Structure 1
Amino acid sequence: MENKKPFKMGGLVLGKDKQLMGNEKIYFIGEDVHGLIIGATRCGKGRTLVLQTIGVLAMAKESSIVCDPKGENHDYTAHFLRKCGIDVFTLDFKDPLKSNHYNFLQSIIDAVAEGNLSQAIDYVWDITGALVGEAKGEKLWSNGEASIIASCIMIVVFENMDNPAYQNLTNVFYFIAEMCKAPKQGEEMALARYMKQLKVKNPTHPAVGLVAISDIAPSKTRGSFYTSALTTLRLFTNPLIYEMTKTTDFRARDIGTKPTTVFMILPDGKTTYYSLASLFCTQVYSGLSDFADKLGGRLPIRVNYVLDEFGNFTKIPEFAGQLSVGGGRGIRFNLFLQSLAQLEEKYGREIARIIRSNCETWIYLQAEDLETQKEVSERLGKYTTTSYSLSSSQQHYTSNASQSVNLVGRELLTPNEVSRIRRPYNLVTSRNDPVIMTSPDLSKWLFNDFYGLGSKEHNNKLRMIRSDARKTHQEEGIILWGIWKKYQ
């Protein structure tokens, strides 16, 4: 492996051909385009496309952000990636004490430290929008909740620039929980008293403007804002999530300046932490976009999102817009879905259509629903074929026969024919002609040797050894700001 030349570029793997002398010819997408991969549960997309794509990107020294249900991708490839000179980080929601640290407030902290308050406020609204999501009913409720979270984030960050241990979302949760408790009769809420003092102390404090939306609502309505805000931030009360998010080991711009792979390891079968995975993807994209703009519009190192189980992600704000402009900045998305219905369920019919149209390359592995098969069939288009017909009739002692030849249109593949595609074959469509590619199981690729893999029993043992070798943090307990004690 050490003697092999790195690839000039990498991308989403489509398939391979065997060559002489045991070599392989790998087909992948090198252009700045996004990919949509359709694969039903247990269709083998991880072992036929994902693991190979991770390897090709590493050999091209491109960065990647990989959604990794169960942690298999990390366990199989991390050793190989480091040999390729890739910095490897994990956000491990399955075993947080083995995770790297990532503080979701770090971009805001850095902007405040640089004196760039306008950018800090933009980042506050980015994180708040991702956490709260779009309004499903009247906007008053979501806007009020977002206003509370945004203002309290800015308070926790701005007032603790000399105390970084308090600058995290766990402290934001407890600040809201303690400062927004119902006051005794005749008394004012602690948060209201705090904000009054803040306005006197610093009339231009950024939190003052952020809280204005909720301030104009009646007191009973504000109570709903506080409850909703605490519900949204509830995951950060978990001591293990606090341990994972209390500080930062890397920043978004690092991913765009040196070859880096971040594995988002998520529990298999649970969608609890997919909202935090969505938030991470949103924050990294925002940070990379701002960084690219400072460098003339493009990142020094191309960044690839490899989002397996994308259908489980919570809705990413303005995702269609990210796809539209991301490629030009050197940011590519590869979205793995079980069916197209998952996209419509999360984003609605119109936005889902825009997302699909922004993904130039589609790879169809297998789908169980007819609507997905129909859309893939329609995407392939039709071709002209010849139709023959023969008819005859007989009356008494005479007979007549006629035949005709017609040109008719026919689907290149009917929905039924699409449904019959099985591994190792996959169907690739793009702006060029469609093609059937061969992408066998990982065991039949050279990457299997590069990763040190073998039989199923060997791989299970190897995963256990590599997982046990990962550094484990000590749980130190939650450190709280405690400012609310002055107001109780």
Structure 2
Amino acid sequence: MAGVIGFGLPLLVYVSGDKSAYRHGEEQGSARFATLREMKRFEDKDSDKNMLFTKQVKMGLFNFRLAYNVQLNKNVIVIGLPGDGKTFTFVLPNLMQLNSNFVVTDPKGNLVHETGKMLEKHGYAVKIFDLIRLKNSDCFNPFHYMTSELDIDRISEAITEGTKKSEHMGEDFWVQAELMLQRALIGWLYFDSRDPETGAQLYMPNLGHVADLLRGIYREDPEVPSSVEQMFEELEELQPGNYAYKQWKLFQNFKGETRNSVVAILSSRYSIFDHDDVRKLISEDTMEMDSWNTKKMAVFIAIPETNNAFNFLSSILFAVGFEVLTHKADTILQGKVSGYSRQNLRHIQFILDEFAQIGRIPNFTQILSSIRSREMSIKIIIQAVNQLESLYKSDWKTIFNNCATHLFWGTNDKDTMEYYSTRSGKQTIRTRSTSKTHSYRNGSSGENKQIQGRPLLTPDEVARIGVDEGLVFISKQNVFKDKKASVYDHPRQHDIAHSPEDKEKWYDYKRLGTDIDGLLLHATDLTPEFEELFAA
């Protein structure tokens, strides 16, 4: 007996002394598919206060109603091919939630018709900015939202970014020279349109007037200052040291062909404002951006899918909108707006279908990372990673990282497949191989078991996801596979129109942009010099 005990003692000591960490079944990776129970933790008990991701997965829109450990930002990336039902399975169901304000891009121009009556029935004011037909639209004038000379730079940058055709438009010297002239002209309109003593608005300029000023820069007689040169000198006499004049004097340092080239580049950029329909669209403002986060509002921006000639206006609109809304939210949260508190600040969901068609929005990565605290969230809908990469270069990674939820509907893009394959993680699998040998006299066989790692979803498995299925990637969670949501599953499915034949629910509208005559400023509102340019 003593011998048995003595023999066993070293073994016991050896076993108890092994301090290694064992993760059986996870040696090569611990990725797995998430369970429905894990997904349900993100859901608000009040169904209407959720964002709808798939048939079974929802996420509460308001963090203060959720447990701390599931409070994430509400930015979402949706990736899907044309025909994957992004509108039917994501955009429409979330509009039907009626749980926030909405700013929605509408590539086909149908969403407002399908949902407008439902929204108005529930107290929403509906705004439409139509870049498909350029008629029957609300109007957007960036000058309406300029409250200080600092806005001159912001508007100029937004226009330059929005009208940029590519990242290779020229050397930085030319871009900066063009911005200098643009700031001077926009600045002249800003200062000239205000009473120098009271700051009261004397008239409302618009971007078409910049094109008019550009036509008046060249001298007809080399010895006689042009009308625009005279206008800047007179502005300096009335408002000494103004920002517009300083920019103009810097531009005046350019001579000869350099100066002519800068004027030509900017003239080309602004020539688009010579179209009558475009002028009418920007001649006044009915968008009421400063009310988007305090009144119950839904804004639809119709952008064409095949012709992006005027889509830069949507880029400018978003650049100005984010600036206006951020400032408004900050002043409310800081208690600087009489009669308003945090409770009066309505959440805005920007649902940006065909995001790549909008054009580059200045400072978008910074906007995306900072709007959470201002009760805003952005839903970016694209077809593949390379669409973001072409617009924002390496910043696409920052954009992806600032979206806590990714919904994958499908793609044919290899890089996108690999990204979500990697994101799904690695799992541990066991393989078994058998071998047999045969000879004339005898044979033998053997079995070999191994532990290996493989992606939970390989790139080709990502590509082969079912037409009616989607993958839900939530920050810090395993991927969840589910059926897509559907309009027909929503309790308000009967509140929206499905075709123009559904006349009781189809939303027809008439806006100030229809049949506008004489919306351009009255001559009596203008300075004499600008009146001459305008008449020309």
TM-score tier (shorter): 0.7 to 0.9
Q: Give me the whole-angstrom Cα distance separating, in 2, the residues matched to 1:96 and 1:71.
A: 12
Deviation of the 1:47 alpha carbon = 0.9
Deviation of the 1:467 alpha carbon = 5.8
Deviation of the 1:365 alpha carbon = 0.6
Q: Give me the whole-angstrom Cα distance separating, in 2, the residues matched to 1:249 and 1:335.
A: 26
- Counterpart residue number, 1:184: 221
3-state DSSP of counterpart to 2:515: coil
2:534 equivalent to 1:483? no
Instruction: Name which structure has the greater RCO, CA cutoff 8 Å, separation 6+.
Output: 2
- Counterpart residue number, 1:273: 310
Q: Give me the whole-angstrom Cα distance separating, in 2, the residues matched to 1:265 and 1:6.
A: 32
Contact 2:112 2:507 in 1 (8 A): no
Q: Give me the whole-angstrom Cα distance separating, in 1, the residues matched to 2:532 and 2:127.
A: 40
Taking a change above 3 Å as real, the CA distance of residues 238 and 124 of structure 1, as seen in their structure-2 partners, is same
3-state DSSP of counterpart to 2:307: coil
2:331 equivalent to 1:291? no
Contact 1:128 1:150 in 2 (8 A): no
- Counterpart residue number, 1:23: none
> Which of 265, 269, 273 in structure 2 is aligned with 1:228?
265
Larger radius of gyration: 2
3-state DSSP of counterpart to 1:280: helix
Deviation of the 1:405 alpha carbon = 1.4
2:292 equivalent to 1:219? no
> Which of 461, 467, 470 in structure 2 is aligned with 1:417?
461
CA deviations 1:137-156 (Å, max 9, x no partner) are 32121112112222211212
Q: How does 1:165-184 map to 2 (within 5 A)?
A: 166-177=204-215, 179-184=216-221
- Counterpart residue number, 2:510: 470
Q: Give me the whole-angstrom Cα distance separating, in 2, the residues matched to 1:107 and 1:210.
A: 21
TM normalised by structure 1 equals 0.86
CA deviations 1:70-129 (Å, max 9, x no partner) are 211111011111112222101012233311122121111xx1xxxxx3544454445445
- Counterpart residue number, 2:102: 64
Contact 1:392 1:402 in 2 (8 A): yes
2:419 equivalent to 1:388? no
3-state DSSP of counterpart to 2:292: helix
Deviation of the 1:436 alpha carbon = 1.4
3-state DSSP of counterpart to 1:96: coil
Taking a change above 3 Å as real, the CA distance of residues 244 and 318 of structure 1, as seen in their structure-2 partners, is same
Q: Give me the whole-angstrom Cα distance separating, in 1, the residues matched to 2:504 and 2:495.
A: 18
Q: Give me the whole-angstrom Cα distance separating, in 2, the residues matched to 1:231 and 1:465.
A: 44
> Which of 443, 449, 453 in structure 2 is aligned with 1:405?
449
Q: Give me the whole-angstrom Cα distance separating, in 1, the residues matched to 2:158 and 2:503.
A: 34
3-state DSSP of counterpart to 1:393: strand
- Counterpart residue number, 1:332: 377
3-state DSSP of counterpart to 1:257: coil
- Counterpart residue number, 2:403: 359
Deviation of the 1:306 alpha carbon = 0.5
- Counterpart residue number, 1:442: 487
Contact 2:420 2:462 in 1 (8 A): yes
Q: Give me the whole-angstrom Cα distance separating, in 2, the residues matched to 1:436 and 1:213.
A: 59
Q: Give me the whole-angstrom Cα distance separating, in 1, the residues matched to 2:171 and 2:107.
A: 35
> Which of 195, 201, 206 in structure 1 is aligned with 2:238?
201
Contact 1:121 1:206 in 2 (8 A): no
Deviation of the 1:38 alpha carbon = 0.6
- Counterpart residue number, 2:80: 39
CA deviations 1:176-229 (Å, max 9, x no partner) are 22x223533433333333323332332222311233442322232122222222
2:187 equivalent to 1:154? yes
Q: Give me the whole-angstrom Cα distance separating, in 2, the residues matched to 1:164 and 1:464.
A: 45
Letter of the aligned partner of 2:95 in structure 1? I
Q: Give me the whole-angstrom Cα distance separating, in 2, the residues matched to 1:362 and 1:410.
A: 22
3-state DSSP of counterpart to 1:470: coil
CA deviations 1:330-349 (Å, max 9, x no partner) are 2211111111111111111x
Q: Give me the whole-angstrom Cα distance separating, in 2, the residues matched to 1:263 and 1:54.
A: 11
CA deviations 1:313-362 (Å, max 9, x no partner) are 211111111111112222211111111111111111x2111111112211
Taking a change above 3 Å as real, the CA distance of residues 462 and 16 of structure 1, as seen in their structure-2 partners, is same
3-state DSSP of counterpart to 1:327: helix
Contact 1:126 1:283 in 2 (8 A): no
Deviation of the 1:471 alpha carbon = 4.5
Taking a change above 3 Å as real, the CA distance of residues 88 and 232 of structure 1, as seen in their structure-2 partners, is same
- Counterpart residue number, 1:262: 299
Deviation of the 1:277 alpha carbon = 0.8
Contact 1:362 1:429 in 2 (8 A): yes
Q: Give me the whole-angstrom Cα distance separating, in 1, the residues matched to 2:460 and 2:145.
A: 49
Q: Give me the whole-angstrom Cα distance separating, in 1, the residues matched to 2:502 and 2:158.
A: 38
Q: Give me the whole-angstrom Cα distance separating, in 2, the residues matched to 1:410 and 1:382.
A: 5
Q: Give me the whole-angstrom Cα distance separating, in 2, the residues matched to 1:323 and 1:451.
A: 31
Taking a change above 3 Å as real, the CA distance of residues 307 and 128 of structure 1, as seen in their structure-2 partners, is same
- Counterpart residue number, 1:22: none
Contact 2:157 2:179 in 1 (8 A): no
Contact 2:162 2:315 in 1 (8 A): no
Q: Give me the whole-angstrom Cα distance separating, in 2, the residues matched to 1:10 and 1:119.
A: 38
- Higher mean displacement: 124-133 or 265-274: 124-133
Contact 2:106 2:353 in 1 (8 A): yes
- Counterpart residue number, 1:240: 277
Deviation of the 1:437 alpha carbon = 2.4
Contact 1:180 1:189 in 2 (8 A): yes
> Which of 355, 359, 362 in structure 2 is aligned with 1:317?
362
Letter of the aligned partner of 2:502 in structure 1? L
3-state DSSP of counterpart to 2:452: strand
State, as a whole percentage, how many aligned pairs show the same letter. 21
Structure 2, unpaired ranges of 5+: 1-44, 62-71, 195-199, 335-341
Q: Give me the whole-angstrom Cα distance separating, in 2, the residues matched to 1:441 and 1:132.
A: 37
Deviation of the 1:234 alpha carbon = 2.6
Contact 2:158 2:361 in 1 (8 A): no
- Give 1 or 2: higher helix fraction: 1
Taking a change above 3 Å as real, the CA distance of residues 79 and 486 of structure 1, as seen in their structure-2 partners, is closer
TM normalised by structure 2 equals 0.79
CA deviations 1:2-41 (Å, max 9, x no partner) are xxx9866343x21225xxxxxxxx7245253311111111
3-state DSSP of counterpart to 2:409: strand
Q: Give me the whole-angstrom Cα distance separating, in 2, the residues matched to 1:210 and 1:301.
A: 39
Contact 2:55 2:483 in 1 (8 A): yes
Q: Give me the whole-angstrom Cα distance separating, in 2, the residues matched to 1:292 and 1:437.
A: 36
3-state DSSP of counterpart to 1:305: strand
- Counterpart residue number, 2:174: 141
Structure 1, unpaired ranges of 5+: 18-25, 112-116, 454-458
Q: Give me the whole-angstrom Cα distance separating, in 2, the residues matched to 1:136 and 1:259.
A: 41
